[in-house]
């Protein structure tokens, strides 16, 4: 007597809602690449986009596995540990995806359009950051409630216990994240530092960087000297002396200084001829975007025992190239000084004629 096995089709296990969920997830899986191309910014690196695309596809596969396993293994509506785990992961990812889409929409609506290099971006403002935080809180509460229900903590006592534990954790750690959060809002509200600005940290003229992004807890700066990124907590950034080189005090631009130390024997005419020749040669160099329509200022800025300091003041507006301009101007100054036979070495206090010796102080008398 032959035994026959009856295979039940999958459609018999799935309800109408299950079929709708499966269809939606399969469509999202099929059109995941063009969909994410519209959601995420075009300027994002290919590696980062591929990582987001893989996570999105994995989330859809998890959703399909949750629906099928729940329907086949527990047609009465029960759940198992694996199903609950997959459901929790899916709820967290869906919450994050909705938060990213809404925050991007808020930034485009209430953010500020700004040129960052050759790229046009929407930067955060006080209003956009505040709305994004509110949306984040609402979505976090919704995801938390969904996770609690997925895990089976349906009673008020169990749900309240979970929320109480999370509340205690936030209260204990608030000293480490609240100051940075508030400082970030203060920085955005003051608008003294915005994305794309060229700033100098402290009094060291070599610590120059571009503000790349002001995030919730820290500010990301592109260091222009060594070409790397610096992460500074928002609370620490507020306590630092920050020179914003992109905010000019007048329409002329940023006032730069080119200084030399020369002997007192060098005349004012020779110093003026030196600086004027340097500025004339800078006009022919395309790497030196000097504002040549404004007259340079040549001043004696310091007098010492050994030498006098002369300074030539000029203006620039390409602040992102400030370090390159300083270096090229110094090299040009050294070249012209050598051609005009002007020594830039620090002069000695006493200049001796040939054969002359320094006077020897008398020996102290013996007591």
Q: Can you spell out the DSSP letters for 267-310? A: -HHHHHHHHHHHHHHHTT-TT--B-TTS--EEEEEEE-SS-EEE
User: Looking at residue 41, what is its pLDDT?
Assistant: 61
User: Looking at residue 106, what is its pLDDT?
Assistant: 83
Q: What is the domain extent for residue 148?
A: 10-114+124-187
- Per-residue pLDDT reduced to its tens digit, 165-184: 777 777 777 777 788 888 88
Alpha helices in the chain (DSSP H): 16-30, 32-39, 46-73, 81-110, 126-150, 156-190, 234-238, 268-282, 322-339
Is 240 inside any structural domain? no
User: Looking at residue 52, what is its pLDDT?
Assistant: 77
Average pLDDT over residues 25-49: 74
- For residue 75, pLDDT over 60 is answered with no
Is 3 inside any structural domain? no
User: Are residues 29 and 132 part of one domain?
Assistant: yes
Domain's final residue, options 133, 152, 187: 187
Q: Which residue has the tokens 């709305």?
A: 131
- For residue 40, pLDDT over 80 is answered with no
CATH number for 327: 3.30.70.100
The DSSP secondary structure of 135-160, one letter per residue, reads HHHHHHHHHHHHHHHHTT--SHHHHH
- Per the structure, the count of domains in the chain is 2
- For residue 64, pLDDT over 90 is answered with no
Mean pLDDT is lowest, of 71-80, 215-224, 314-323, 343-352, for 71-80
pTM greater than 0.85 (yes/no): no
Is 305 inside any structural domain? yes
């Amino acid at each position: 007597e032959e035994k026959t096995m009856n295979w039940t089709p999958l459609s018999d296990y799935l309800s109408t809602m299950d079929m709708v969920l499966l269809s939606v997830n399969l469509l999202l899986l099929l059109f995941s690449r063009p969909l994410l191309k519209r959601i995420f910014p075009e300027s994002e690196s290919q590696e980062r986009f591929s990582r987001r695309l893989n996570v999105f596809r994995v989330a859809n596969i998890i959703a399909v596995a949750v629906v099928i396993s729940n329907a086949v293994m527990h047609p009465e509506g029960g759940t198992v540990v694996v199903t609950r785990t997959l459901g929790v992961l899916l709820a967290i990812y869906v919450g994050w995806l909705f938060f990213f889409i809404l925050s991007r929409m808020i930034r485009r609506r209430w953010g500020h359009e700004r040129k960052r290099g050759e790229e046009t971006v929407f930067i955060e403002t006080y209003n956009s950051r505040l709305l994004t935080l509110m949306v984040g809180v609402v979505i976090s509460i919704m995801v938390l409630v969904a996770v609690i229900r997925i895990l089976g903590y349906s009673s008020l006592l169990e749900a309240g216990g979970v929320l109480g534990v999370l509340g205690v954790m936030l209260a204990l750690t608030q000293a480490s994240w609240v100051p940075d959060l508030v400082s970030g809002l203060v920085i955005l509200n003051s608008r003294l530092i915005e994305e794309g600005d060229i700033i100098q940290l402290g009094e060291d003229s070599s610590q120059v960087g571009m503000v790349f992004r002001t995030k919730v807890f820290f500010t990301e700066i592109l260091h222009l000297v060594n070409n790397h990124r610096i992460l500074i907590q928002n609370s620490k950034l507020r306590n630092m002396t920050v020179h914003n080189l992109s905010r000019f005090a007048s329409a002329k631009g940023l006032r730069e200084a080119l200084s030399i130390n020369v002997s007192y024997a060098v005349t004012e005419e020779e110093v003026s001829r030196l600086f004027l020749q340097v500025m004339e040669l800078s006009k022919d160099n395309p790497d030196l975007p000097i504002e040549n329509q404004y007259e340079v200022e040549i001043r004696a800025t310091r007098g010492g025992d050994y030498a006098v300091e002369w300074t030539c003041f000029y203006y620039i507006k390409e602040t992102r190239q400030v370090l390159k301009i300083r270096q090229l101007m110094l090299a040009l100054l050294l070249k012209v000084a050598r051609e005009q036979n002007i020594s830039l070495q620090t002069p000695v206090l006493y200049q001796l004629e040939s054969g002359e010796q320094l006077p020897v102080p008398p020996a102290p008398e013996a007591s």
